[in-house]
Amino acid sequence: MTVEELKSLKSKIQEAERKKSRAEGVIDRITATWQKEYGFSTVEAAKAFCDDLKTNIKRNEERLADLETKIEAAVDWDSL
């Protein structure tokens, strides 16, 4: 391997290390934001949080449909 090839390789390694550091910083900011705003800091906890939200949305949609049915049944639509 020539000196030029070694220099090129070293340069590529340094650039990869800079990109890795930058990516780790982004991950740290994301997890800090999750912790601050939602109380969790892992992907697994985020997935569980999303699953809970989906469950709550489904339950609320079912309640809404039930209430709409009750309202429709309680109103005499022909008199309107």
User: Which letter, b or e, does each residue of 6-42 get, where b requires 16 or more Cβ atoms within 10 Å of its Cβ?
Assistant: eeeeeeeeeeeeeeeeeeeeeeeeebeebeeeeeeee
Residues 6+ apart with CB under 8 A from 45: 34
Same domain for 35 and 4, yes or no, is: yes
What's the number of domains the chain is made of?
A: 2
Residues 6+ apart with CB under 8 A from 40: 34, 46, 48, 49
Same domain for 6 and 32, yes or no, is: yes
Q: Supply 75's token pair.
A: 């109103």
Same domain for 49 and 24, yes or no, is: no
pLDDT in tens, 12-35: 999 999 999 999 999 999 999 999
Same domain for 46 and 80, yes or no, is: yes
pLDDT in tens, 32-78: 999 999 999 999 999 999 999 999 999 999 999 999 999 888 877 67
Domain containing 9: what range? 1-39
Overall pTM > 0.85: no
Collapsing DSSP states into helix, strand and coil, what is residue 42? coil
Same domain for 53 and 80, yes or no, is: yes
Same domain for 35 and 51, yes or no, is: no
Same domain for 34 and 46, yes or no, is: no
